């Protein structure tokens, strides 16, 4: 009977591409019949076809028992097919593996051909049980007379050590002997096994160092040298004496070898093996860096990648050597391969310091600038390109046009500048300009990070605030961000930072009133609600500062300008008060009411006469000294400038001590199970005691009864009786109900989300005699100056020398905070845990700082943590109207202006 062979199966698959499933179904039926045959050759052919189909994704685990039958054949060509099928389909869960133990032992004691086939197969199907049972036979195979058997046995021992670690105690000695085997193939296999084993526990293989060093200095096999060098890279961190011993031979290999793979492994071993330390290590480090720089210039992309990866690991110990090749590294930032560009950015981030930060950032920033459209080539250029064919020219800056890569570039620029709390930045005015430029040219969604950086820098570095305000004025006056606010990558969040900085530090502005129209222009309403809300808040700050400056320099000529400015502000604020966004609407409504109050006060203001009063009797009667300007000019500024924003330490919140007697797990509001509050449609509140004796629906109906105010007929007798009982309330119950209603209405009056209707209420009669007569202290006496425009500052900010930027790196801590540093107990070198190879070699990626320090001028430096704000509330005595008085503590130190006591 004619049967299909493996070749026939392959030809049939190629001929039936349109109906492959049907053909394979027929072939599987034939295989099932063949594999059950007693003819071992036919059975082996079926296993070969199943092995091929298994590679195409069809399961062959159902034939595992038949595969064991083929493995037991005495013929070597059939046995090889059986072991091939076992390697292809067997795993640790295969149930027939327990039947193969005696078969494998028998084959390991057979002819050399059977032993070779068995060793090849057993390495792939090894389990814990097989490793335990076969370890004596495999250890014995290490002393076989044939080299190829010894080499296969060494490789199989690695799988035994993996599955059955206890065999390592008995087999490591025999494995060590193979390092001196006469056959180089056996030695190479032994080095490979030891290299893999040493990755898990390197210190256990330190006794092998002398033999490995001998092989390093005598062998000429590059592949074995690579493994030996790798092995020494794992051993040298655990034995410092190896470093000095290995430096000469590895230096000789780096200088003489022509094999690039061996050269890189030697350089990598020098890095991870701590061989670049000390005086002798400097010359070796210079050699390694020069070799890696040559790799970067090589056209082979793989060499560029591994060179950049290795240089990142050299930077922490020898940054000055890597900095010599800065231009070569920067050229890789614009490489076509994205992986090479990313590794170049990693290297630049690790290489940056105070001296080269500006040059590196400027060159990286230039990659974000989109190139101008190239001009149309001339006829001569087009003709020359057709006559002399060449590779298509690479458009400049093409790799930088990827959105993902542009995002990484932008983030790396800010990471390099802000790492370690701006430790590498020497000129913060330059960095502020870089952030603004980044917002214009990045074209990616990085506006939130730029906003945070701008606010953080200005808050930390006082000397940069003047320049920052000028820069933010230019940003607000430019309509680029407004026009492209809805587009992706517009970085419109920069407007948030610009508005906040100009409002918070409006004292740096020479004419704050000129900036208000930019903050309240109608296009602002189309921005995100948080940006619009900050613009409204900053406009209120600017107006408050301008009004207070106008009060200090008040002349009667300012009155008309003030009225006009208030009217314009009210008109602009009304458009935001009707916004659909609750945050914008609330802020605009609050500011609008303040402006309306100022408008009425300015309208009622009458210029003061020369003597101050119309007659002497009026002056004697009025105890209050009236200022020469409208009082409402000082209404807004104290709302925002009473306390300065001070830096806060990153651990301040966690360091707040819990007061004595405060239980953070207890409920703030006590349980309301004993009292049930019922509210009717007319606002009446009825409180009842819930009796525990009631059960079921009777209890529920008693606790949920509602009182309605309409004239509706009640059909249920029980409900009518309850209404009758409620109508016959006593005077005490009525008084209690009125008291509860008054308390509820008072709570609702303070609730901004509850609209109260007070039209029906009659205003209470005021007793004029109860109004206290007090003396209001007017503003401080103003120096006599020439009248000028309100809010203008002198141009004192013009400097002849650059400012000295100081970044405060320690923030304020709460009062009573106790910081207990965790003790660091050094671990003896002999008892230290084995470090992970990747922990030794990997350089931690730079991260954004924790933003925990701010800059303070020299005249306001604090020697200690400032006193906290203490609030003492006076007890109410009688019905008097005691007013809060704010007094500054007499023991305040310089810089503690924010510490006050309220009585």
Q: Rounded to whole angstroms, how far apart are CA atoms 117 and 206?
A: 34
Q: H or E segment at 533?
A: helix 529-552
Q: Rounded to whole angstroms, how far apart are CA atoms 47 and 90?
A: 13
Helices (H) and strands (E) counted in the chain, each on its own, are: 38, 5
- Say if residue 282's pLDDT is above 90: no
Q: Rounded to whole angstroms, how far apart are CA atoms 339 and 394?
A: 18
- Do residues 157 and 175 touch, judged by C-beta distance below 8 A? yes
For residues 361 and 684, the model is more confident at 361
Distances (CA, A) of 582 to 532, 592, 753: 11, 15, 11
Range ranked top by mean pLDDT from 115-119, 694-698, 813-817, 875-879: 115-119
Tell me the pLDDT band of 80, cut-offs 50, 70 and 90: very high
Tell me the pLDDT band of 840, cut-offs 50, 70 and 90: very low
Distances (CA, A) of 67 to 78, 129, 146, 421: 10, 20, 29, 67
3-state secondary structure of 677: strand
Tell me the pLDDT band of 650, cut-offs 50, 70 and 90: confident
- Average pLDDT in the 820-847 region? 39
- Write down the residue that tokens 């819930």 correspond to: 690
Distances (CA, A) of 276 to 199, 247, 311, 426: 22, 9, 13, 31
- Say if residue 850's pLDDT is above 80: no
For residues 863 and 297, the model is more confident at 297
Least confident of 496-500, 560-564, 855-859: 855-859
Q: Rounded to whole angstroms, how far apart are CA atoms 695 and 705?
A: 16
Distances (CA, A) of 268 to 212, 222, 280, 504, 755: 18, 16, 17, 53, 73
Helices (H), 164-221: 167-177, 184-197, 209-218
Q: H or E segment at 593?
A: helix 582-604
- Say if residue 696's pLDDT is above 80: no
- Write down the residue that tokens 């119950």 correspond to: 733
- Say if residue 725's pLDDT is above 90: no
For residues 568 and 784, the model is more confident at 568
Q: Rounded to whole angstroms, how far apart are CA atoms 373 and 304?
A: 30
- Write down the residue that tokens 């006559």 correspond to: 387
Give Cα 633 distance to the centre of its chain: 45
Note the pLDDT of residue 819: 66
Note the pLDDT of residue 644: 77
- Do residues 538 and 502 touch, judged by C-beta distance below 8 A? yes
- Say if residue 741's pLDDT is above 90: no
In this structure, what DSSP letter does residue 163 have?
H
Q: What percent of the chain is predicted at pLDDT more than 90?
A: 30
- Say if residue 273's pLDDT is above 90: no
Tell me the pLDDT band of 887, cut-offs 50, 70 and 90: very low
State residue 803 phi and psi, 5-degree precision. -70, 160
- Do residues 518 and 472 touch, judged by C-beta distance below 8 A? no
- Say if residue 585's pLDDT is above 60: yes
Total residues belonging to the chain: 903
In this structure, what DSSP letter does residue 246 have?
H
For residues 339 and 620, the model is more confident at 339
- Do residues 722 and 705 touch, judged by C-beta distance below 8 A? yes
- Do residues 640 and 544 touch, judged by C-beta distance below 8 A? yes
Note the pLDDT of residue 728: 67
Tell me the pLDDT band of 744, cut-offs 50, 70 and 90: confident
Least confident of 355-369, 422-436, 610-624: 610-624
Written as six digits, the tokens of 818 are: 């106790």
Q: Rounded to whole angstroms, how far apart are CA atoms 157 and 211?
A: 20
Strand order in the sheet with 870-871: 870-871, 900-902, 886-888
State residue 306 phi and psi, 5-degree precision. -70, -30
- Average pLDDT in the 864-889 region? 41
Interacting residues of 268 by C-beta distance below 8 A, sequence separation 6+:
233, 310
> What's the sign of the alpha-carbon dihedral 890, 894, 899, 902?
positive
- Do residues 352 and 345 touch, judged by C-beta distance below 8 A? no
Q: What is the DSSP string of 713-777?
A: ----HHHHHHHHHHHT--HHHHHHHHHHHHHHHHHHHH-TTS----TTSPPPPP-GGGS------
Q: Rounded to whole angstroms, how far apart are CA atoms 335 and 325?
A: 16
Least confident of 18-22, 385-389, 539-543: 385-389
Note the pLDDT of residue 888: 38
Tell me the pLDDT band of 756, cut-offs 50, 70 and 90: low
Of 328, 330, 325, give the one whose Cα is nearest residue 315: 325
Q: Rounded to whole angstroms, how far apart are CA atoms 581 and 287?
A: 64
* pTM, entire model: 0.62
Range ranked top by mean pLDDT from 539-553, 813-827, 836-850, 881-895: 539-553
Written as six digits, the tokens of 369 are: 């600038």
């Amino acid at each position: 009977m004619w049967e299909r062979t493996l070749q026939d199966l392959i030809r049939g698959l190629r001929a039936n591409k349109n109906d492959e499933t049907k053909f394979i179904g027929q072939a599987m039926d034939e295989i099932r019949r063949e594999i059950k045959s007693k003819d071992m050759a036919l059975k082996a052919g079926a296993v070969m076809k199943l092995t091929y189909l298994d590679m195409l994704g069809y399961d062959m685990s159902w034939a595992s028992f038949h595969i064991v039958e083929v493995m037991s054949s005495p013929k070597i060509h059939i046995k090889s097919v059986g072991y091939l099928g076992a390697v292809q389909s067997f795993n640790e869960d295969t149930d027939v593996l327990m039947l193969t133990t005696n078969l494998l032992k028998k084959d390991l004691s057979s002819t050399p051909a059977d032993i070779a086939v068995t060793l090849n197969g057993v390495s792939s199907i090894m389990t814990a049980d097989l490793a335990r049972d076969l370890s004596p036979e495999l250890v014995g195979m290490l002393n076989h007379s044939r080299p190829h058997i010894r080499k296969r046995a060494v490789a199989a021992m690695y799988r035994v050590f993996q599955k059955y670690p206890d065999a390592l105690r008995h087999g490591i000695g025999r494995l060590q002997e193979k390092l001196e085997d006469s056959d180089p193939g056996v030695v190479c296999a032994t080095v490979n096994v030891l290299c893999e084993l040493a990755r898990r526990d390197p210190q256990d293989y330190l006794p092998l160092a002398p033999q490995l060093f001998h092989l390093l200095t005598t062998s000429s096999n590059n592949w074995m040298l690579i493994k030996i060098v790798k092995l020494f890279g794992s051993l040298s961190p655990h034995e410092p004496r190896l470093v000095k011993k290995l430096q000469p031979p590895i230096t000789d290999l780096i200088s003489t070898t022509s094999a690039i793979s061996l050269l890189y492994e030697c350089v990598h071993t020098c890095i991870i093996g701590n061989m670049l330390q000390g005086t002798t290590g400097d010359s070796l480090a210079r050699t390694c860096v020069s070799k890696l720089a040559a790799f970067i210039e090589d056209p082979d992309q793989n060499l560029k990648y591994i060179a950049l990866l290795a240089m990142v690991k050299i930077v922490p110990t020898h940054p000055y050597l890597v900095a010599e090749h800065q231009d070569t590294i920067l050229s890789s930032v614009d490489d076509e391969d994205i992986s090479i560009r990313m590794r170049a950015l990693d290297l630049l981030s690790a290489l940056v310091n105070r001296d080269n930060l500006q040059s590196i950032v400027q060159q990286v920033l230039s990659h974000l600038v989109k190139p101008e459209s190239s001009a149309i080539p001339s006829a001569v250029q087009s003709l020359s390109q057709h006559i002399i064919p060449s590779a298509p020219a690479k458009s400049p800056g093409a790799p930088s046009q990827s959105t993902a890569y542009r995002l990484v570039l932008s983030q790396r620029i800010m990471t390099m500048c802000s790492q370690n709390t701006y430790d590498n930045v020497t000129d913060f005015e330059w960095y502020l300009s870089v952030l603004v430029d980044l917002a214009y040219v990045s074209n990616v969604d990085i506006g939130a990070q730029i906003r945070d950086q701008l606010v953080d820098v200005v808050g930390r570095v006082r000397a940069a605030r003047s320049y920052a305000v000028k820069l933010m004025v230019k940003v607000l006056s430019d309509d680029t961000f407004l026009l492209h606010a809805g587009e992706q990558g517009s970085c419109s969040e920069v407007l948030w930072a610009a508005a906040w900085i100009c409002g918070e530090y409006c004292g740096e502005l020479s004419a704050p009133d000129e900036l208000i129209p930019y903050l309240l222009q109608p296009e602002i309403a189309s921005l995100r609600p948080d940006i619009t809300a900050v613009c409204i808040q900053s406009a209120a700050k600017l107006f408050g500062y301008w009004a207070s400056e106008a009060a200090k320099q008040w002349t009667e000529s300012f009155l008309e300008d003030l009225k006009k400015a208030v009217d314009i502000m009210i008109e602009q604020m009304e458009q935001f008060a009707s916004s659909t966004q609750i945050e914008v609407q609330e802020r605009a409504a609050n500011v609008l009411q303040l402006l309306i109050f100022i408008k009425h006060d300015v309208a009622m203001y009458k210029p003061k006469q020369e003597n101050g009063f119309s007659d002497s009797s009026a002056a004697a009667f009025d105890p209050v000294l009236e200022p020469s300007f409208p009082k409402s000019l000082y209404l807004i500024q104290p709302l925002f400038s009473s306390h300065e924003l001070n830096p806060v330490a990153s651990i301040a919140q966690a360091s707040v001590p819990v007061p004595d007697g405060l239980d953070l797990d207890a409920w703030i509001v006590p349980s309301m199970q004993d009292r049930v509050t019922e509210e009717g449609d007319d606002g009446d509140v009825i409180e009842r005691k819930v009796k525990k004796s009631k059960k079921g629906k009777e209890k529920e109906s008693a606790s949920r009864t509602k009182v309605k105010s309409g004239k509706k007929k009640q059909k249920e007798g029980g409900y009518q009786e309850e209404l009758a009982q409620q109508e016959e309330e006593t005077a005490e119950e009525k008084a209690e109900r009125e008291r509860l209603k008054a308390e509820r209405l008072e709570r609702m009056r303070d609730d901004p989300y509850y609209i109260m209707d007070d039209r029906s209420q009659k205003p209470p009669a005021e007793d004029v005699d109860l109004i206290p007569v007090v003396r209001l202290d007017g503003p401080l006496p103003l120096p006599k100056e020439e009248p000028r425009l309100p809010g203008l500052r002198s141009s004192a900010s013009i400097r002849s020398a650059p400012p000295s930027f100081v970044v405060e790196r320690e923030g304020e801590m709460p009062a009573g905070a106790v910081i207990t540093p965790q003790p660091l107990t050094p671990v003896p070198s002999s008892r230290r845990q084995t470090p992970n190879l990747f922990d030794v070699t990997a350089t931690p990626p730079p991260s954004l700082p924790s933003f925990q320090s701010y800059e303070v001028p020299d005249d306001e430096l604090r020697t200690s943590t400032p006193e906290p704000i203490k609030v003492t509330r006076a007890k109410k005595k009688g019905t008097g109207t005691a007013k809060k008085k704010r007094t500054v503590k007499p023991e305040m130190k310089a810089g503690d202006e924010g510490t006050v006591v309220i009585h």
